[in-house]
Amino acid sequence: MSTRLWHPFSDMAAVDGNEFVVDRAEGVWVYDEDGRRYLDGCASLWYANAGHGRQEIVQAAMAQMGKLEAYSCFADIANRPALELAERLAALAPVDDAKIFFGSGGADAIDTAVKLARAYWQARGEHHRVHVVSRETGYHGTHGFGTSITGIPPNREGWGVLPGENTVAPLHDLDGVEKVFAEVGPERIAAFVIEPVTGAGGVHLPVEGYIEGVAELCRRHGVLLIIDAVIAGFGRLGTWFGIERFGVRPDMITFAKGVTSGYLPLGGVVVSGEVAAPWWTTPGERTLRHGPTYSGHPTCCAAGLATLDVYERENLIPRGQELENTLFEALAPLVQHSYVHEVRAGLGLLAAVELEPEVLSSVPDAPNALLRGARKAGVLVRGLGKGVAVSPPLIITEEEIGLLAEAIRAGLDSLPVDAPVPAAPGA
């Protein structure tokens, strides 16, 4: 049967009439309409950090909807959940004198942060500072600025002219970043936007000293540092915002996904007091003419508050670090499989298994073929450009991490590879 639903990031000609329909979920398990159970190896889309079926989050949202389901936060209007969530997030964030600007998700947050960076310099009278630097494999959502600064070329192509004044720096090369700064002119750069660990671009872990070096480079040249913690935050790297593991205090942090564990759409930007100052200092002087309709949505914020309660009560945030070696040890043996080019893991509860070039050229849509093979073995993983990624809920057990690795191996064994593939080292 044909579908009317247009799926994001999907080949609809292939998807049409062939959907995998999810029916319900509980804990780390997802069930299809036939009642078959699957381990959620990707926390849906990097966000179900607290797991599925958390009734305290559901009840908090229901109670808020019964009292005040939604209302604007424009001008001087506020609601108690938005005020309280902003207070809690500001206290948790490694940002000086933090202010919280809410939106509906990560893409909203990135566009807000980039616009704020550019507007900050305009307010300071440095009108030439409009350039934004990002890095290869970085994914920053699909709104205007997020599409423009992405480090994933296929996501940037095919749209015509995008917002300009952007440069993508090399992935792990700090000298390359310095070269970009020198070529553009640091006096023209508004901000550097970076994920601590790139997510959708392939789960690339930073080399030692890279994040700290970027932060120092930004400080030296007065460039604002924006940390994209949409995936890295809320326990995925074992801390509240991920960036704490590098000892860096950025000017802004974008967040979403895990802030509600995906129960309702919510995202935002943590903004330093320095960056916020042009709009917070003198009444009547300046208004930020920016903001989505659902900024500070009371029901979404109530879900966020309940989610933070779960994280704190069950001490879930550190598990992203506590389980990182377990995940690495479970997946590392897959590199011996002749179809596997690389396994990237060991920093946070996320990882990627990249396929050999010969497999990618031999098997049509090889990453999704691997995804389907793992699904047949009872585990849901995330297809990426050259392989698959995993990012399970923080409540996953070590035994369940073992099941995840076994299913990926089964998916690898199921690939219809025609071309000869060199044996993996040590195989």
Identify the pLDDT of residue 424: 56
| 3-state secondary structure (DSSP) of residue 155 | helix
| 3-state secondary structure (DSSP) of residue 340 | strand
Phi-psi region of 291 (alpha: psi -120 to 50; beta: other; left: phi over 0): left
Identify the pLDDT of residue 427: 45
Q: How many CA atoms lie within 13 A of 93 on its CB side?
A: 28
- d(CA 156, CA 149) in angstroms, rounded, equals 8
> Do the beta carbons of residue 216 and residue 227 sit within 8 Å?
no
> Do the beta carbons of residue 176 and residue 116 sit within 8 Å?
no
Write out the two tokens for 415. Answer: 């690939």
Helix (H) or strand (E) holding 408: helix 398-413
- d(CA 248, CA 228) in angstroms, rounded, equals 13
Q: What are phi and psi of 78, to 5 degrees?
A: -140, 175
Sign of the Cα pseudo-torsion (30, 32, 36, 38, in order): negative
Strands 387-390 and 382-383: antiparallel
Length of the chain: 427
Q: How many CA atoms lie within 13 A of 332 on its CB side?
A: 9
> Do the beta carbons of residue 28 and residue 40 sit within 8 Å?
yes
pTM: 0.96
Identify the pLDDT of residue 422: 65
Strands 267-271 and 252-255: antiparallel
| 3-state secondary structure (DSSP) of residue 169 | strand
Averages of pLDDT over runs of 10 residues in the chain (427 residues) are 92 93 98 98 98 98 98 98 98 98 98 98 97 97 95 94 92 95 97 97 96 97 98 98 98 98 98 98 94 97 98 98 98 98 98 98 96 98 96 98 98 88 57
